[in-house]
Chains A and B, each alone.
Chain A
Amino acid sequence: MTSRRTPAAPAEPTSNEPPPGSIADTYREVMPLVDFDAAMTKGDDVALTIPANSIHEVLERGRDDERLQMNLLRNQTAVDWEERGLEIVYHLYSIPLRQAVTIKAWLPSENPMVESVTDVYEMANWAERECREMFGIEFIGHPDPRNLLLDEDLDIHPLRKSHPLAPIEMEQGVDVEFFTKQHPPPEPVVEEEAVATTAAAPTRKRVEDMTEEERAARKAEQAERVARAREIAAKRRAERLAGAPPAGGPRKEGAAPPPRPTPAPAAAPAAEPAPARAAAPTADRPPAPPPPELPSIPDAEEDPEGRAAAQSERVRLGRELAAARRAQLRGE
């Protein structure tokens, strides 16, 4: 089984070379000095990987040349491949010639910079602003490099893989324990501090009422928490990369599948909540009968007939149970 979050090996251009006479050859004809590395995507488009410093030239000449006429920049984005760097992607289309191409280039993860194509396509203005705030790519020569979708003075890059989802909630004061319940934290210190944060929550002051020192202290505390969450996330990622299956994620090969809740009988109580509900019966509601043994459902790929039979058996049991419960509540 492949472990989660493993960056794939680099796509081999030799295995899916585009057919001769495709748009890749036209590009090589028009710009013989640029190094084009061609491949086919799953959507039957030609993807050309070029050096990052020739992006502006390739896009501008691709728009103006008679044989290409790439006049529509339909999409522009980036992909974060962690250690291998950032991949910046331009999807181009020629409306008169009805041909599409994807231009890609590799950038380093640290301080990525690329020339802006705002003077070639007006569309790149907003697209590059979004790309800049989401990935931290600097576009040299952009006329208006402000944040677009995020808050104006927020300096984070959320679509980077190094930005985990958790710190955002932690910033908002959600308990750390909530996130660490399924994955036990490596250091018990985190749990203690989490309890301390929860206990201190009711006496929290509003930011507007704080003094300068208190604000600074709050900011430092937040930064510390974010750093800790990043550490936890990095550790978890390292664990996953090492092959340990995450809790609640894909299960081990050959292990018995965990029981799933049956979809149809909503009235049938699950195995765990039943005793809790029976412990506190009200005067007019008699305690529910104990749930029967449910058959386990085999995997669909291994035994489709047995799976269907087990599912219908569970549905039947659940319906019987619900009918019995209804009859019991009616007093029969």
Chain B
Amino acid sequence: MVQQTFEGEVLTEPVVVEREFETVDMNINIGPQHPATHGVFRMVLTVDGEIVKDAIPYIGYMHRGGEKLSENLDYRGALGYQDRTDYLAAFNSEWVYVNAVERLAGIEIPERAEYVRLILAEFNRLLSHFMFMGAFGTDVGYFGTAFTWTFKERERIQDLFEAVCGDRIMYNYFRVGGLAWDPHETFIEDSHWVLDQVETGIGDVDDLMTNNEVFVARCRDVGVMSAEDAISYGVTGPMLRASGVPFDLRVDEPYSIYDRFHWEIPVGERGDVYDRYLVRLEEMRQSVTILRQALDQMPTSGPIMPERMPARLRPEPGEIYMRQENPRGEYGIYMVSDGTDQPWRVKMRSPCFHNLSSLKPQVINAYLADAVVALGSIDIVLCEVDR
């Protein structure tokens, strides 16, 4: 190779000076107000050059004492707090809560209400995963386009929710025993139309990101977690399935009417960030499959609440741990009744809380830039982590 310097001197080959480059361990504070942390989450990373050596996460900035507040309200009154935990999948969280109360009090709910709940919850799963696709694209750093495209699809689903219950994020539509009111008349036709649009949208995101060389290079073999580690950390949901464990509560401990539909559980192989993305993408397609079957089977008329409901709920003393598959994993409500009209104990088992606790082994000995990608792939909602 021939190079010419400014002085006109001609060098035949570049001079490489080799020497020791010593770095000092440095603490980097990320958050709590930082766009990469998806909310108020703080972590202190100890880095050696670009390599993360230690990570200390700090949570609790959004702790509102939802459990204590729920214990001081009656069974119906605490439902609104469920919207405020996982605000990206509020229908799913509401559903767990009303199911827990219904099973504790022994209330049978009409079939039509069950179908409407399932359909709305599956739509909410799509909504949440679209949010992940958009936010993760920006986390990786190159895909602002994905954000706008996925928000276009989210808008369609939110319009449907607005027509059903009048709200776009904090729905508060499920009731103990059924639903607040009937969905609007063209609910099924609208849902089919939205599904058609959404299916195209999923294909668009797939075309944009999945085989993109930059995207794959940024995600492959980042944040790898083995199946044993994932189970030990209590990781559930798409993250666990990306590590190769086919654990889905809709199949393993079937609740509601999920045994009436046919679909598949997507499972990853390597347990890295790219697999988590692929699992979520495939899960959206499977959600569309479930939704099409549910919309075809759904009774077009019928009651949405039981004929007689007690004015005040006083379940017999007992306990229940109700768990369901939320978009982020296993959401559980542990509820203890003491025979009065207020629950004695309400514990919310938040999937993000335990998924986030597995961040430390993922980022140790990885690049600092990869830590942000690994955090984004957990798909945290800090309101749910802190409760």
Contact = CB atoms under 8 A, between A and B. Distances in A.
Whether both chains belong to one complex is answered with yes
Contacts of B245: 95
B344 A79 contact: yes
B247 A150 contact: no
A140 B321 CA distance: 26
Contacts of B234: 72-74, 121-123, 127
Given A4-B341, A91-B321, A159-B68, 11 more contacts: A5-B338, A42-B104, A42-B320, A74-B236, A74-B323, A91-B334, A102-B321, A121-B232, A122-B229, A126-B354, A149-B60
Interface of B: 59-60, 63, 65, 67-69, 72, 103-104, 229, 231-234, 236, 245, 247, 252-253, 308, 310-312, 314, 317-323, 330, 332, 334, 336-342, 344-345, 347, 349, 353-354, 357-358, 386-387
Nearest to A300: B311
Interface in A98-128: 98, 100, 102, 121-123, 125-127
A200 B49 CA distance: 55
Interface stretch (A6-14, A25-33, A174-182, A210-218): A6-14
26 contacts: A2-B314, A2-B339, A4-B341, A5-B342, A6-B338, A8-B338, A11-B317, A11-B318, A71-B232, A72-B247, A74-B234, A75-B332, A75-B349, A95-B231, A98-B252, A100-B253, A122-B232, A123-B232, A126-B353, A147-B60, A150-B60, A158-B68, A165-B69, A300-B311, A301-B310, A304-B308
Contact of B344 (A7, A148, A158, A301): A7
Interface residues of A, number: 47
Of B65, B229, B252, B322, which is in contact with the most chain A CB atoms at under 10 Å from its CB? Answer: B65
Given A2-B340, A8-B339, A74 B332 contact: yes
A123 B354 contact: yes
A224 interface: no
A261 interface: no
Interface in A120-175: 121-123, 125-127, 147-151, 158-159, 165
A285 to B, nearest CB: 32
A74 B330 contact: yes
A41 interface: yes
Contact of B336 (A79, A91, A165): A79
Given A126-B353, A301-B310, A149 B68 contact: no
A47 B232 CA distance: 22
Given A79-B336, A149-B60, A250-B312, A41 B233 contact: no
Contacts of A75: 321, 332, 334, 347, 349
A299 interface: yes
Given A122-B233, A158-B68, A149 B63 contact: yes
Contacts of B317: 8-9, 11
Given A95-B245, A300-B311, A41 B340 contact: no
A150 B349 CA distance: 17
B60 A71 contact: no
Given A73-B234, A75-B332, A6 B339 contact: yes
B332 A165 contact: no
Contact of B60 (A9, A11, A77, A148): A148
A45 interface: yes
A57 B152 CA distance: 53
B321 A41 contact: yes
Interface of A: 2-9, 11, 41-43, 45, 47, 71-75, 77, 79-80, 89, 91, 95, 98, 100, 102, 121-123, 125-127, 147-151, 158-159, 165, 250, 299-301, 304
Nearest to A130: B353
Contacts of A9: 317
Nearest to B105: A42
Contact of A79 (B310, B339, B340, B345): B345
A237 B311 CA distance: 24
Can you list the 10 inter-chain pairs with the closest CB atoms, starting with the nearest? A123-B234, A8-B317, A149-B60, A43-B320, A8-B338, A42-B320, A75-B349, A149-B63, A77-B347, A122-B232
B341 A45 contact: no
Contacts of B252: 95, 98
A312 to B, nearest CB: 17
A11 B336 CA distance: 12
Contact of B334 (A2, A7, A77, A149): A77
A100 B255 CA distance: 14
Given A71-B231, A150-B60, A6 B340 contact: yes
A95 B65 CA distance: 31
A150 B65 CA distance: 10
Contacts of A149: 59-60, 63, 386-387
B310 A42 contact: no
Given A6-B340, A74-B349, A126 B321 contact: no
A42 B339 contact: no
A165 B69 CA distance: 8
Contacts of A77: 334, 345, 347
Given A8-B338, A148-B59, A45 B321 contact: yes
